[in-house]
Amino acid sequence: EKGYWKGIDSAWNRTYLEVGIHNITLQFDGIRIYNTGYNGSFRTWLRLYETEEWKRIDEMEYFTNDYNYTDFQRPPAEFNEVYTDNGTDTDEDELYNNLTIDVGVNVRSAGYYEVKGELYDIRGNYIERAKNSTYLNTGNQAVKLDFNGMKIRQNGVNGTFQLNYLSLYNTRDWIQLDYIDDAYTTVYYNYTDFQTISPCYTYTKEYVTYGWDEISTPDQNWTSCDDCSYNYVLPWNFTFFCENHNSIQISTNGLITFPPDTSSHCCSPDLENTVAIAPFWGDLSQACGEGTNISVQDKGDRVVVVWYSGTCGRGCLNKDLFEVILYENGKIRFNYNYLNNIPKNVGAGISNAIVYYNNIWGNCTSVVYSPANVTETVLGDLNGDGFINMDDVILLLNYVGNPTAHPANEDAADVNCNGVVNMGDVILLLNHVNNLWSM
């Protein structure tokens, strides 16, 4: 497109040519030209290759004749820039579960289409993206985009909201039919109009004293793979944002997801929109030299997952060592031993694609996420199951013998409250359990 040279389309033609002069036809999509709204001459860059070794033989620049964009094929559907918005209460609790924006589409050819866009608050902060794939009849139609009320509540900003980056696709061939950068501004809302965050969506985040949980004998050990995802069956159900899981998917890119999501999620972190436990999500690789691996060990009340990894495309001399500990009671601990080869983009935190929590990362750093129902510490309840019994005595004894064997409720270990965890706490807890049995 002449002037500021905005790319419109690309085309190619691969064919066998005899000796002599030939005319080769390149066909550029008329709908994409129409969507530019540009009248005038178009600039093309032409390149000629031989296809055996793909060597470039020649290239040239060519300017077309002048055209009006209306000379070209109109898209089968386009936005008519008619919008409405409202809060939607789906469970009759007088709070909005969604902010619903109706997007107007003028349909010339009935079929399946997809509309998607992103929501921003009045300060320009990103909140969420939404999409809707549906069948549309001819004429002016309204397509609903539902933006999650809990995400708006978590964002905590009153005001109008902006619908940006609005796009329309034909789902048959996924050609973009229309696009608007700044599409629509909603009416004013208070964030407290929207759905409160469920208690089981609530976690506390605490940066704790660094301590590494060493894997002695791994149950699983995977090596030499880039962009892989491995399944591991848990010894118990693990509750994450209200959902119970009996297995996990461990990605070489530094995150854990849950089946049926088996993607390795390469390579740009998108924690806000992914159900994930992500200690160090980036473009990592296990195919990075001898000893590079992912190891997993079941330690009774917890499962430890360790990544020893390089960063894809940036060499493998300086590797990263970090781990996740999943506790039976739902707690999650990140331990960062050393991080020497940092990816371009890093995601660190937990998310259910509605509510998310971020954390900082660095050498010799530990962070613990605790679900709301296990944040209260009961002295002696080391596994956090709500009961004090011999299981807790065994965990405490192991912890005294090996301080790196972090139990789920580490704060419950100082039974006598003297600031030190030692055999005195074990004896006191054992006497307490024996007294319970004798009652």
pLDDT tens string 118-129: 999 999 999 999
| CA separation for the pair 36, 32 (Å, rounded) | 7
Name the CA dihedral angle for 276, 149, 128, 132, rounded to a multiple of 10 degrees: 100
Interval 355-406: pLDDT, tens: 889 999 999 999 999 998 754 566 788 777 667 888 888 888 888 888 777 7
- DSSP 8-state secondary structure symbol assigned to residue 438: H
Residue 409 has pLDDT above 80, yes or no: no
The reported pTM is 0.64
pLDDT at site 289: 66
For 282, 291, 304, 421, the CA distances from 315, given in Å and listed in that order, are 14, 15, 27, 43
Residues 98/122, Cβ–Cβ less than 8 Å:
no
| CA separation for the pair 109, 226 (Å, rounded) | 44
For 20, other C-beta atoms within 10 Å of its C-beta total 5
- The amino acid at residue 423 is M
pLDDT at site 438: 46
Region of poorest pLDDT, from 168-177, 259-268, 336-345: 336-345
pLDDT at site 393: 87
| CA separation for the pair 237, 288 (Å, rounded) | 33
pLDDT at site 313: 56
| CA separation for the pair 179, 208 (Å, rounded) | 47
Residues 234/247, Cβ–Cβ less than 8 Å:
yes
Residues 68/107, Cβ–Cβ less than 8 Å:
no
| CA separation for the pair 5, 40 (Å, rounded) | 12
Interval 136-161: pLDDT, tens: 999 999 999 999 999 999 899 999 99
Region of poorest pLDDT, from 200-204, 241-245, 283-287: 283-287
- The amino acid at residue 198 is S
What are the strands of the beta sheet with 126-136, ordered from one edge?
A: 126-136, 111-120, 162-170, 175-185
pLDDT at site 439: 40
Phi, psi of 345 (to 5 degrees): -125, 135
Secondary element (H or E) of residue 394: helix 390-401
pLDDT at site 1: 46
Residues 101/203, Cβ–Cβ less than 8 Å:
no
